Structure 1
């Protein structure tokens, strides 16, 4: 698979108000391939959000190199590279700059000198892709949380990005809004081959990833498939992370004497097993 983003020995330290340097990221190396869904997880202060900022050039490493599409991310290459990235942050209200939804989606396109007709086409397609085609004239701040994130995603998609970076993009949403956004991203990835990098606390979202990087104290503490990561159990909890609800419940049911075929990562899998094996007779 083709490499689209890599970090090689990347470290970053920030200075506190007391003039003390804190190492937020320490010697991190990782590679992301075209079309992958990567999840980066960790407790608060583990360095995962700093890592996202390093990937998009909001911060530059004090040591090491960030490469995007095989080109080093520097002051000189920043804007060209960033035009190929879509970024959605935790709070969509902080991203809105337009008076209407369509104005907001068009903002980055206009700043990049996209011709008017092309801009109109991209705005229309992006809003249609996220199910917000009928909201173009609405004011963004009057939308629901899930709708706001859809608009933020539309703004990112309108740039035709090759990589979509989600920095806690679902953490402020209610369960329905979170489910809607995750389903949207999953669908877009399937239809466009988009590379997704998700920095998240949502363990159900992590299960969608091809690979997971667990951050702890600024370093990569573990990496693997979601199943291999969650199989680490107590070791994962030592890094300040919980296990998916369905997995914890599977273990509790088994310890209580209920025979289960395996440990289930999703609630749907667990419910199907319980119904098929124990309640359908």
Structure 2
């Protein structure tokens, strides 16, 4: 698999003049392959958002390097590389600049000098990809939280990026809005081979990833598949993270003598196991 993004011994401190102050990121190294979905999880202050800013050049490392698409990210290639990356942030209301949905999606295209005819096509295509084409002329503040985030994703997709970064993009949404956004990203990844980095504290969201990177106090605490990471159980709880509902319920049922073949990370697997182990005999 081709490496599309990597951090190599990256260090960053918001107060570099104070050497004793804990670094926001301390000797972080990891890589992302083309088409992967990587979830970066950790409690507040663990370094997740600082990492997102370093990935797209809002900050530059004080030690180590960030490589994107085979190049070391620097001030000379920043805009070329950033054009290959889309970002969706925590609060959708802070991302809107247009009076209508189509104006908002077109904003970044206009800033990048895309010809008007191409811009119109891209706006329609990207809104169709997130199933928001019916809201072309709607005012953004009339949309639900999930719809707003889908429009934000459309704005990122209109630039045809190779990498999509979700920086706590579902943390302010209700369960329905979260499901709308995550199912949209999952489908887009399957259809377009989009590389996704999901920066989150929600381990339910992290279940969708191919690999999970756990951050703690500016350092990489653990890295592995969802099954490998969630097998750590109480270790994650001690770091201030919550376990997926299905895993907690599996453990509770086993503790109380309910027959299960295994612990489960998805509710569907848990329900199926309960049924086959206890009622389908």
Q: TM-score, normalised by structure 1?
A: 0.96
Spell out, residue by residue over 1:146-191, the C-alpha distance to the aligned partner (whole angstroms, 9 max, x if none).
Answer: 1100100000000000000000001111001101111100100000
Aligned pair count reads 280
| Contact 1:164–1:194 (8 Å) recurs in 2 | yes
Q: Match for residue 270 of structure 2?
A: 270
Task: Give the C-alpha shift of residue 22 in structure 1.
Answer: 4.5
Q: Does 1:237 align with 2:222?
A: no
User: Do structure 1's residue 167 and structure 2's residue 179 form an aligned pair?
Assistant: no
Asked if structure 2 preserves the Cα contact closer than 8 Å seen for 1:14 and 1:21, the reply is: no
**Cα distance in 2, alignment partners of residues 11 and 60 from structure 1:** 9
**Once the 2 structures are TM-superposed, how far is the Cα of residue 277 of structure 1 from its aligned partner?**
2.2
Partner of 1:45: 45
Query: 1:276 Cα shift?
Result: 2.4
Aligned to 2:103: 103
Alignment of 1:53-202 (within 5 A): 53-202=53-202
Conserved 8 A contact 2:202-2:242: no
- Which residue of the partner structure matches residue 251 of structure 1? 251
Superposed CA offset, 1:33-68 (max 9, x none) = 000000000001000111111101111111110010
- Structure 2 CA distance for aligned equivalents of residues 23 and 35 of structure 1: 31
Is 1:14–1:22's contact at 8 Å kept on the other side of the alignment? no
User: How far did 1:280 drift?
Assistant: 3.9
Which structure 2 residue ranges, 5 or more long, are not aligned? Answer: none
For 2:144 and 2:242, how far apart are their aligned partners in 1? 29
1:221 Cα deviation from its structure 2 partner: 0.3
Q: Distance in 1 between matches of 2:9 and 2:262?
A: 38
Structure 1 unaligned regions, length at least 5: none
Name the SS for the 2:31 alignment partner: strand
Q: CA RMSD in A?
A: 1.5
Moved over 3 A (4+): 18-22
Question: Residue 238 of structure 1: CA displacement?
Answer: 2.4
Distance of 1:279 and 1:54 partners within structure 2: 52
Q: What's the counterpart of residue 204 of structure 2? A: 204
TM-score (normalised: structure 2):
0.96
